Amino acid sequence: MNATYAHLSNAQRELLARSEALARDVLHPIARGGAPGRVNRPLIAALSGHGLLPLVLRRDRAIPALELCLIREGLARFSTEAETAFAVQCLGAHPILAGGRPAVVDTWMPRVIAGEAVAAFALTEPTGGSDVASLALRAEPDGDGFRLSGEKVFISNAPEADIYAVFARTARGAGARGITCFAVPRESAGLSGEATPLVSDHPIGTLRFDGVLVSSDHVVGNLDQGFGVAMRTLDLFRPSVGAFAVGMAQAALDAAVRYAAQRTAFGHPLSGFQGVTHQLAGVATRVQAARLLVHAAASAHDTGTAETTQAAAMAKLFATETAALAVDVAIQVHGARALERGHELEHLYREVRGTRIYEGTSEVQREIIARELFRELGSRVDSVRGGA
């Protein structure tokens, strides 16, 4: 048994290996056939056809965080495009699957799970990213529904997704307590948008809501309680962002080790130079530590044995920063050839940067961790005083 995954069960290791094999042998070629910056519908259909979406998106149970992490790590190692398509489909579907009204779930989730409809999670706005409580998209009552007005930015799969989990303000001046989540179909009158070109070629864009009418049966969860819907979704997905980072970090490390073993300089292989090998040893140690943090946070979420907000923040923070280091070291080992357009490491260099920003920046993760530290301190002090 590989000690790297000794903490996993046989079934969990098989899921990871299956995800890696699918990414390498099946999904990567489909991903390469897609248009840059556009939703790759054949890829999403393949993620369903090969069983990954139906495994995770089920109505009879909550999404298991550890399964999500293992699939994302395995896919990322060989196809970041497949990983991102899988992750964003699950992210967009989760709020609706978990809190949507039965009629909406019955209409949309079979199509989303089958890869026939594309889902998206619409939270970020021009004046607020990680500060969810400051959302400004308005949802004003209109008959038996609401009219949505405002803008969302940097929304994955926008503007091509078929169904959006949209977070809007239903009570002014109420901060986090006045937000509601809505399931909004793409064909809704008044909904428009355009793609946003980024450094990495992901489908991502802007959405504009010009009085979009959404019926009350499209409310996800409870009215004015959308902040909780968003936070529960992010707590579930933050460790798996770390898993995406671990997969990329492992791919970069593997590439660097292979290259160092075969490339010679000054008459010796690079693997004979301590300046190279010690850097790789450090990266390997950090990658394994990141993997364990991610899996521990996911397991805690699944078992409900502990408060997972801090664990999820630690996992995302450490794993994404480790991945950035791993890719940087791998490029340094390769030299200029790694920066050629189309090289695996050039691709990873562009892909890895965003992980420290979306679903909560590294700075936000540190703030969460610090806040939890002092909250725990306060609890301990209160406990001591109470027992005095």
Tokens in use for 141? 């009552």
Q: Are 19 and 66 in contact (CB under 8 A)?
A: no
As a whole number of angstroms, the longest Cα–Cα distance in the chain is: 79
Token reading at 77: 């190692």
How far from the centroid of its chain's Cα atoms is residue 118's Cα?
16
* Catalytic residue (choose from 20, 359, 367, 376): 359
Total length of the chain = 388
Closest C-alpha among 184, 187, 53 to residue 121: 184
Q: Which amino acid is at 19?
A: S
Q: Within 10 A of 56 (CB to CB), how many other CB atoms are there?
A: 21
Distances (CA, A) of 263 to 250, 326, 339, 346: 20, 19, 17, 19
Distances (CA, A) of 168 to 116, 135, 277: 26, 7, 51
Cis omega before residue 159 (within 30°)? yes
The beta strands (E) that lie in 232-369 are given as 264-265, 268-269
Helices (H), 114-225: none
Question: Is 359 part of the annotated catalytic residue set?
Answer: yes
Structure letter (DSSP) for residue 23: I
- Strand partners for 220: 181
Residue 191 CA: distances (Å) to CA of 148, 149, 208: 9, 9, 6
d(CA 362, CA 346): 23
If one counts every other C-beta atom within 10 angstroms of the C-beta of residue 311, the result is: 23
Are 109 and 57 spatial neighbours (Cβ–Cβ below 8 Å)?
Answer: yes
Name the residues annotated as catalytic: 359
